[in-house]
Amino acid sequence: MNKWDLIVDSEPGVGSWNMAVDEFLFHSLGNEAAHTVLRFYSWKNPTVSIGYSQKAEDIVDMEFCRLKGIDIVRRITGGKLVLHSDEVTYSLVSSDNDTFPPTVGDSYRQVSEALMVGLREMGLNPCLAQVPPEEYAREHRLCFSYPARNEVEVSGKKIIGSAQKRFGPKFIQHGLIPLKDNEKLLRSVALSKEKEKIQMISLSQALGKDVDFDWTVSILCAGISDYFDADLKVRILTQEEKKAIRYIQKERYTDPGWTFGTGG
């Protein structure tokens, strides 16, 4: 049985903190012993996150976000604009090349399949999406415009959006499961607004009932544990680790040069 760390943040975090924790966990993976950390978290404020290579001014209505108090962060992973609000966010970092395939596509699909186990336990019938239209990859679309290849959809609509980054034998994949419908606000934070096609469904919509963070996380954890034969051991970040995370938060995720630049 695989031994994994499990971090469940009981309190919602601001966007800069959430991204700093994910980056810290990714870079803290050693190059010798295989190690995997699964984390679940939520967001204190509605927050727009953009992919590493995106430029905020090209896709985000920054004046609307400023007036409404919506935060903006840039991820270290790729992908497209996402609005984080009323959701469960997961991240998985690993250096275990025995468990995970060595390519982005194959490991991405594997994580999606594991998440689907939990969705099936909830009573849903999820499936992996096929290749989206060519223009989706080229244009400044929203993450939930189309399900990308091997993302998870229900009834033809995306229910989990994810992105992955690899560095040698290590990778990070994080993504979100919306608990409630936020399509109206999602359209409002995007410059494209009414032109934007959105194909998303929240977990509450798919199930026909309201669900919360704790219930969702518990079932997703059980599904991931079953799929990977993983023993999830709860991990609490130490004060020393939190100090290192605060440094990353300050140096990168609260830096306008990082957030509103071009991602390097």
Contact 21, 28 (CB under 8 A): no
Distances (CA, A) of 162 to 40, 62, 133, 235, 256: 13, 23, 18, 23, 24
Helices of type H across 80-174: 104-122, 134-138
Tally of CA atoms within 13 A in the half-sphere of 185 that contains its CB? 17
CA-CA distance, 64 to 61, in Å (whole number)?
5
Q: Which two tokens stand for residue 206?
A: 């798919």
Among 65, 127, 143, 221, the one annotated catalytic: 143
Residue 65 known to be catalytic: no
Report phi then psi at 239, rounded to 5.
-65, -35
Helix pair angle (239-248, 15-27), 10° resolution: 110
* Residue 135: burial class (beta carbons within 10 Å; 0-12, 13-18, 19+): exposed
8 Å CB contact between 253 and 20: yes
Query: Residues with Cβ < 8 Å from 257, sequence gap 6 or more?
Result: none
Q: What distances in angstroms separate CA 24 from CA 48, 152, 230, 241, 246, one per listed residue?
A: 20, 27, 22, 8, 10
What are the residue numbers of the active site?
143
